[in-house]
């Protein structure tokens, strides 16, 4: 660090004033910049205060603050991890290999938003600071923190591609993966979007949407003051039922939903399915300045195609109605392709302290990046879009 710049570690967001955090770009709504709701003080503090991301769950806050005196210049949301769960960028194989060779992979530093596979800035810079200089200090400072702690590694996941050169210049390894996003090309409505699909795919999706709403199912969009405690009780029941079957142990506590409902209700969209006067399924989405971020869903009744309607089709409808540029529908899921979501490359950066493990991981990542690229090309060729429209959309997804 330079003489007048220091690094301070905050063990929780209780140590960071909301107004101080709001100085960082992307963390609050402004007319002149992008807003990422998962980077807001409201969201990150709710994870900790609710016990969802805590020492007990293996997410010990270790947020890195770059300061000059009492002035916050930049930050990285960061956690000291005792496992690799809830990250969506899988390194358990690396941990197993290192442990079998006699090393200790855990604890490690994880620079991310817990349980949230959404791309967003990780090198957060105060709005009046030199971006390039501050980002470089943050990337090198993270390595310094890792060395001082004596941990095996530091992992920066779901970062935007434009931040990659900063990390690569500092010696981090580059990893890629894939998600599926819907890209809004200025469609007036869902039908205009469907007009760009091949005839057979268009008919299939119209039929799918009709079938999903059979048996008298209706859809509600709930946001803002609609998000009462009674609604959160119902949605949490969906989350627990589906989460317990799918993941074994759901990550988020009931209190988490109350806290985000209190602090950021206007940034939340619940898509809720109702039958015979009661809600039977729902999906939670977060509203950014440019994107709608789909997170998780749950249900207490099984109906054909209802998951696709609630999570994907309704998300497109909402994004179009609000003029949002894209829908990010979470991790994995080739089934999203048939519903107009195209493969998009995601990025992460990894600092590995041990030279031997670093060489092995670097070799693995080189081969993995090629595989991710080939799979993306293959999936794009099998999208539901007509050929000319597909080529245009692939170019847009690469921008």
Report the candidate in 130, 126, 156, 129 with the shortest Cα–Cα distance to residue 141: 156
Q: Is a pLDDT exceeding 70 seen at residue 275? A: yes
Task: Assess whether the region 6-177+346-380 and the region 185-324 belong to the same CATH fold.
Answer: yes
Radius of gyration for the chain, computed over Cα atoms and rounded to the nearest angstrom: 21
The enclosing H or E element of 9 equals strand 6-10
Q: Taking the domain 6-177+346-380, which CATH number applies?
A: 3.40.630.30
Domain limits, the chain: 6-177+346-380, 185-324
pLDDT at residue 334, as a whole number: 87
Instruction: Specify the CATH superfamily of domain 185-324.
Output: Gcn5-related N-acetyltransferase (GNAT) (3.40.630.30)
The 10s digit of each residue's pLDDT in 144-167 is 999 999 999 999 999 999 999 999
pLDDT tens by residue, 206-265? 999 999 999 999 999 999 999 999 999 999 999 998 766 655 578 999 999 999 999 999
* Residue 108 burial (10 A CB sphere; 0-12, 13-18, 19+): buried
Question: Which residue would you say has higher pLDDT here, 194 or 243?
Answer: 194
The answer to whether residue 392 scores a pLDDT higher than 60 is no
Q: What is the pLDDT of residue 108?
A: 98
Averaged pLDDT of the chain: 94
Give per-residue pLDDT as tens, 17-69.
999 999 999 999 987 789 999 999 999 999 999 999 999 999 999 999 999 99
Residues in CB range of 98: below 8 A, 6 or more apart:
104, 105, 152, 354, 357
- pLDDT category at 396 given cuts 50, 70, 90 is low
């Amino acid at each position: 660090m330079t003489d007048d710049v220091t690094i301070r570690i905050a063990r929780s967001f209780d140590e960071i004033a909301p107004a101080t955090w709001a100085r960082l770009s992307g963390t609050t709504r402004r007319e002149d910049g992008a807003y990422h709701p998962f980077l807001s003080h409201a969201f990150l503090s709710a994870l900790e205060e609710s016990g969802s991301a805590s020492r007990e769950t293996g997410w010990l806050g270790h947020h890195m603050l770059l300061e000059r005196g009492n002035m916050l210049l930049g930050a990285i949301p960061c956690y000291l991890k005792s496992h690799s769960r809830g990250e969506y960028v899988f390194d358990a194989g690396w941990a197993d290999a290192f442990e079998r060779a006699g090393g200790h992979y855990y604890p490690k530093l994880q620079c991310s938003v817990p349980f949230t596979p959404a791309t967003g800035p990780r090198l957060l810079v105060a709005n009046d600071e030199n971006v390039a200089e501050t980002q470089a200090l943050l990337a090198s400072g993270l390595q310094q923190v890792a060395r001082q702690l004596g941990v095996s590694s530091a992992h920066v996941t779901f970062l935007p591609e434009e931040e990659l050169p900063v990390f690569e210049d500092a010696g981090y390894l580059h990893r890629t993966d894939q998600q599926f996003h819907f890209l809004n090309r200025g469609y007036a409505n869902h039908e205009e979007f469907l007009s760009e699909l091949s005839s057979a795919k268009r008919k299939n999706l119209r039929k799918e949407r009709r079938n999903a709403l059979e048996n008298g199912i209706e859809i509600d969009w709930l946001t803002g003051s609609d998000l009462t405690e009674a609604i959160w009780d119902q949605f949490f029941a969906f989350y627990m039922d589906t989460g317990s079957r799918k993941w074994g142990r759901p990550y988020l506590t009931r209190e988490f939903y109350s806290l985000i409902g209190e602090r950021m209700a206007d940034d939340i969209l619940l898509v809720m399915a109702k039958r015979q006067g009661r809600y039977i399924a729902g999906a939670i989405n977060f509203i950014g300045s440019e994107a709608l971020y789909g997170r998780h869903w749950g249900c207490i009744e099984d109906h054909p195609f209802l998951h696709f309607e609630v999570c994907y089709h309704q998300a497109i409808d909402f994004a179009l109605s609000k003029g949002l540029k894209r829908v990010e529908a979470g991790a994995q899921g080739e089934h999203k392709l048939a519903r107009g979501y195209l493969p998009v490359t995601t990025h992460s950066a990894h600092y590995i302290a041990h030279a031997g493990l670093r060489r092995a991981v670097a070799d693995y990542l080189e081969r993995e990046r090629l595989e991710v690229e080939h799979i993306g090309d293959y999936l794009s060729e099998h999208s539901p879009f007509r050929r000319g429209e597909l080529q245009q959309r692939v170019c847009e997804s690469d921008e």
